[in-house]
Amino acid sequence: MKTRLNRYLSECGIASRRKAEEIIKEARISVNGKIVIDLAFTVDPDIDIIQFDGEKIKPEKKVYFLLNKPKGYITSTSDEKGRRTVLDLIETKQKIFPVGRLDYDTTGVLLLTNDGDFTNYLTHPGNKIPRVYRAELSKPLEEADRLKLIKGILVDKRKSRFVEVKFISKEARNKVFVTAVEGRNHFVKNMFAALGYFVDKLNRIEYGGLNAKGLPVGSYRILSRSEIQKVYETYGK
């Protein structure tokens, strides 16, 4: 069965479809011994021999992990300073990558996969995939500031907003649940900092409807195909 070349590269774990198009343009892909730079080119994996930089490639099994990230781990595949990374917490032979980032001291839901399309779908700003956080602030959040965060403020010279900001309880007004659809680095912390609040603790409790309930800190679980499909269905792929 024929499929577009960029999709096949994504299924082999080479790159997302968008990145695969760049690889094709760079004349790094050959089909049956001939370089292909046509982005609309289709291949039949059962018949054609597809090579990337001269090496034959084939689809790899897609894997999806949900990690309850602890503090003290870098959200990266490696670290030049020798610090521990989130990959140190997961046992797999597959080459996986984090979906987005969580700061060194931020805890909670972190997804890791070798599915470039799924990663791109979750992180693309246009898809507005919700992330829910539990934040503990340096001081009680004023109601006027809570409303400002929802209506929108300027952060990094861009109008930015939270979808929702809810107090966890009437008594502890320095503890809030925050829902955001942006994945910029330090986004939650920078939003509060713009109004004079320091985030003492930050825990992501949900990403795209996936949560870490019942999962101990530092542990992970394998996501099922049905859970991945539900994400696509819920947010309208």
Report H helices in 103-224: 116-123, 143-151, 187-193
Dihedral Cα 181, 182, 183, 186, nearest 10 deg: -120
**What is the end-to-end Cα distance of the chain in Å, rounded?**
23
Residue 103 falls in the annotated catalytic set: yes
Active-site residue (options: 44, 88, 103, 105):
103
Q: Can you say how many angstroms the Cα of residue 79 is from the centroid of all Cα atoms in its chain?
A: 19
d(CA 105, CA 190): 15
| Two structure tokens written together for 88 | 């140190």
215 DSSP assignment: P
| Two structure tokens written together for 113 | 């996969």
Question: Residue 97: in which H helix or E strand, if any?
Answer: strand 97-98
| Residues designated catalytic | 103
